[in-house]
Structure 1
Amino acid sequence: MFTFLLVVQAIIAACLVTVILMQRSEGGGLGMGGSPSGFMSARGAADFLTRSTTVLATVFVLLSIALAVIASVRHAPGSIDTSLVKQATPATSGPVPAGDDPLAGAAQAVGNGAASNGAVPLAN
């Protein structure tokens, strides 16, 4: 259904562009000539093209809204995936013992002037 409505949307867009370009503007537009009387007179053609533009624009906007609603319902997640959520570890209170300090080795390496990972040591 979504693909069908998308194709109809494209056809309506092409028709809308064509009707807009056929209208007479200040510079003449792409309007086609016709008989001076009857339906294709200047006045009759202008009324027809104006009404066609209004109808096509209204259908285009309504179809755009319908496609947006269908797309949002179609791709809405059913549930939230929580499998990648990191388990929270309880916070410890008080100072961290020297043996558990992850930066203790880095401080000693900088103090010795040598970095084991190839990094440039900080200036002393």
Structure 2
Amino acid sequence: MHTVLVVVQVLVAVALIGLVLIQHGKGADAGAAFGSGASGTVFGARGAANFLTRTTAWLAAAFFASSLGLAYLVNDRTGRTSGSVTDQIETPAPGPVTEEPRLIIPAPAEAPAAVAPQAPAPAEEAPKVPE
């Protein structure tokens, strides 16, 4: 049943996308009002718009119904009554703890000793040569 509903969901979605792309926008009706040849179509001047609109509504209803059916089947398949999908996620049980985890922080590298700025050395006088 689940597979059938998924196939129906995909087919209805593709058909719905196709019908929405086929339909003309509101601006396309102005051309039909001036005799652009739309009255000679299979559905008549206004018949195609009504047919496509109604078919789109029916396909949207079928898409909605198949979505609800899939949601019901998936929730029923798990056998749980929880309404949340995140509540259905199974978390693994923690294993036995052999020892308490320790945080190992490496010792900081020794920083060079701060050197105080020194004043520039005075220019030395040249040694006096005895005469």
TM-score (norm 2): 0.52
Query: Cα gap change, 1:15/1:119 in structure 2, threshold over 3 Å: closer, same or farther?
Result: same
How many residue pairs align between the two structures?
A: 88
Percent identity for Structure 1 against Structure 2 = 35
Query: Cα gap change, 1:40/1:14 in structure 2, threshold over 3 Å: closer, same or farther?
Result: same
| CA distance, structure 2, for counterparts of residue 27 and residue 37 of structure 1 | 19
Is 1:17 the equivalent of 2:17? Answer: yes
DSSP 3-state at the match of 1:36: helix
Query: Cα gap change, 1:120/1:24 in structure 2, threshold over 3 Å: closer, same or farther?
Result: same
Q: 1:5 is matched by which residue type in structure 2?
A: L
| CA distance, structure 1, for counterparts of residue 107 and residue 10 of structure 2 | 60
| CA distance, structure 2, for counterparts of residue 66 and residue 27 of structure 1 | 38
C-alpha deviation, 1:76, in angstroms: 3.1
| CA distance, structure 2, for counterparts of residue 18 and residue 44 of structure 1 | 18
Query: Cα gap change, 1:37/1:27 in structure 2, threshold over 3 Å: closer, same or farther?
Result: closer
DSSP 3-state at the match of 2:39: coil
DSSP 3-state at the match of 1:68: helix
Equivalences for residues 20-59 of structure 1 within 5 A: 20-26=20-26, 28=28, 36-37=39-40, 39-59=42-62
C-alpha deviation, 1:84, in angstroms: 4.0
Is the radius of gyration larger for structure 1 or structure 2? 2
> Can you give the 5+ residue segments of structure 2 that lack an aligned partner in the other structure?
29-36, 82-89, 109-131
| CA distance, structure 2, for counterparts of residue 51 and residue 119 of structure 1 | 72
Q: Which deviates further from its counterpart, 10-19 or 37-46?
A: 37-46
Where does residue 125 of structure 2 map in the other structure? none
TM-score (norm 1): 0.55
Q: 1:53 is matched by which residue type in structure 2?
A: T
C-alpha deviation, 1:66, in angstroms: 0.8
